[in-house]
Amino acid sequence: MRLETRAIHAGLRVDPTTGAVAPAIHPSTTFEHAPDGACPRGWLYSRNANPNRDALEECLADLEGGAAAAAFGSASAATTAVFLALEPGDHVIAPLDAYYGTGRLLRETFARWGLGATFVDMQDLAAVRAAVRDTTRLVWVETPSNPLWHVSDVAALAEIAHAAGARCVCDNTTATPALQRPLALGADLVVHATTKYLAGHGDVMGGLIVARERDGLFERVRGLQATGGAVPSPFDCWLVRRGIRTLPLRMRAHSEHALSVATFLDDHPRVEAVHYPGLPADPGHKLAQRQMSGFGGMLSLRVRGGRDAALAVAAKVRVFTCATSFGGTESLVEHRASVEGPATRSPESLLRLSVGLEHPDDLIADLAQALG
């Protein structure tokens, strides 16, 4: 079946006892078992597994084409579980422009635990090859990447990882399975911040790992989910699963609106550059066309005049809201350099836009008046 159909049905069935079509929420922390401890219905205690979490995991494994999935309370918790599943002394190759929190985890926390990390430009395959050590166990990929929306070649990076005896992990938060299928391109694990497009309404945090196979690495992640306990609540899982029903439709609209906004900005005299892989002149356009089925809702612009000019535009928007995060129905704008602080790699003139589901004419009119 096609993605639109699976996004609605995967992991869900009509409740056999009540006939309810929409799934129930199961807040119970504990489930009746047999006197000898056997669990005929499959559930024992909600930290280990819960019906709402199972439904969400089954759905994402299906949408990504994986064998299994493990849900966490945030993508940062999911990322932590992947790194904890490695051994001290192992080495990770990660993108220079990895999600801010992923870079911080490697530099601040896992470095102290003896996990080595080399940060490279993932668009430069020779640099990735040169970073391989005999202890390299993981090549971490994130595409398109924040905030310049660089596109990296998942198939080529997975091949480099496999030739080195390592695994390839792809953070697919920005593209979602509606636009990009990393496992089909050769990745072994997919990471998601369900906080963003999957839940889609800016009202629930969550993370998730999908595995191509139930191998040793995934079983360690699964074990850490239960023993570490950074699990999402049943209601959170229910909300994310509900959001996914409209994911393919929303991603189509986000992509369409972002392309309209990017095209408008690209022609504007006060805009120095637009970073969006959907624009034909973008350096990532051809690769994105090959490995994605749409270009997504995230773009960045650089305002002529630097930091002050960018902040002035952010201060004037009315439909866009100045806020971090992305993937909700409402459009957001953010001056990343201010939010990330002195260590930022984001240009001072850059504003990041999460293009929402409002009418694109209203978004363009808002940016037009803010740019002046």
Ligand X SMILES: *Cc1c(COP(=O)(O)O)cnc(C)c1O
Q: Tell me which residues are annotated as active site.
A: 47, 99, 171, 196
Task: Rule CB under 6 A: say whether 239 interacts with ligand X.
Answer: no
According to the binding rule CB under 6 A, does residue 205 interact with ligand X? yes
Helices (H) then strands (E): counts for the chain: 14, 12
The C-alpha angle with vertex 54 and arms to 28 and 185, in degrees rounded to 5, equals 155
Regarding 97 and contact with ligand X (CB under 6 A), the answer is no
Q: Closer to ligand X at the Cβ: 232 or 370?
A: 232
Distances 88 to 16, 21, 112, 186, 224 between C-alpha atoms, Å: 47, 47, 9, 26, 16
Query: Considering the complex, what minimum distance in angstroms separates the CB of residue 2 from ligand X?
Result: 26
HSE (side-chain half, CA atoms, 13 Å) at 231? 26
Near ligand X by CB under 6 A: residue from 11, 51, 202, 207: 207
DSSP string, 33-85: --TTS--TTS-SBTTT--HHHHHHHHHHHHHHT-SEEEEESSHHHHHHHHHHT
Q: Which tokens hold the place of 242?
A: 């509900």
Please report the DSSP string for 324-336 in residue order: S---SSS-EEE-H
> In terms of CB distance, is 99 or 238 closer to ligand X?
99
Residue closer to ligand X (CB basis): 205 or 370: 205
Size of the site for ligand X (CB under 6 A): 14
One character per residue 142-181, x = contact with ligand X (rule: CB under 6 A): x----------------------------x-xx-------
Q: How far apart are CA 129 and CA 160, in angstroms?
A: 7
Stretch binding ligand X (CB under 6 A), from 41-49, 111-119, 193-201, 273-281: 193-201
Nearest distance in Å: CB 327, ligand X? 8
Q: Which residues contribute to the site for ligand X (CB under 6 A)?
A: 74-76, 99, 101, 142, 171, 173-174, 193, 195-196, 205, 207
